[in-house]
């Protein structure tokens, strides 16, 4: 896929005014209440936005703050992307690269269902417990 742009920045810049677009990408799998609480969470760190080659918003990721007290890890709250276009895959690759550059050792996440677990396993994530997965960097 060519022409895809992935932008990383703080919670008030990259995804500003995108809440409705973001929710439309994930509403089949995530409750509105959970989404709103995550949007307001003080634990959120950097975010990512994906734009297709036409400049249209095509996906996002909400990350937690880096957690040095947990062995140098970060938390991936949510990835949402237009299905079947490879946006989510490119976005997760970028998240992994950025975590490695920052010297982190793990990316942690809580998948919503078995289908999502299978997708994350393709990138090397492993089950830590029933509801938690981690990728050792």
Domain coordinates of the chain in residue numbers? 5-136
Beta carbons of 107 and 74 less than 8 angstroms apart:
yes
Residue 18 has pLDDT above 80, yes or no: yes
Q: What is the pTM of this model?
A: 0.84
Q: Which two three-digit tokens encode residue 97?
A: 């690269």
Give residue-wise pLDDT tens across range 76-124.
988 889 888 899 999 999 999 999 998 899 999 999 889 889 999 999 9
Fold classified for 5-136? Aminopeptidase (3.40.630)
Tracing tokens 């008030």 back to the chain, one arrives at 12
Q: Is the pLDDT of residue 1 over 60?
A: no
Q: Are 50 and 5 in contact (CB under 8 A)?
A: yes
Q: Which residue has the higher pLDDT, 133 or 22?
A: 133
Asked if residue 70 lies in contact with residue 61, where contact means CB atoms within 8 angstroms, the answer is no
Model pLDDT, residue 137: 94
Let me know if 106 is exposed, middle or buried by CB neighbors in 10 A (0-12, 13-18, 19+): middle
Distance CA 116, CA 26 (A): 12
Task: For residues 22 and 93, give the distance between their C-alpha atoms in angstroms, rounded to a whole number.
Answer: 20
């Amino acid at each position: 896929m060519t022409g895809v742009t992935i932008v990383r920045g703080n919670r008030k810049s990259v995804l500003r005014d995108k809440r409705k677009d973001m929710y439309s990408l994930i509403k089949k799998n995530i409750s509105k209440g959970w989404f709103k609480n995550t949007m307001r969470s003080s634990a959120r760190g950097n975010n990512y936005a994906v734009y297709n080659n036409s400049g249209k918003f095509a996906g996002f990721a909400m990350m937690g703050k880096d957690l040095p007290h947990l062995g140098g890890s970060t938390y991936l709250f949510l990835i949402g992307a237009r299905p079947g276009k490879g946006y989510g895959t490119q976005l997760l690759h970028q998240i992994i690269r950025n975590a490695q550059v920052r010297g982190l050792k793990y990316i942690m996440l809580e998948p919503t269902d078995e289908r999502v677990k299978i997708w994350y396993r393709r990138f090397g994530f492993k089950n830590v417990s029933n509801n938690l997965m981690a990728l050792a960097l």
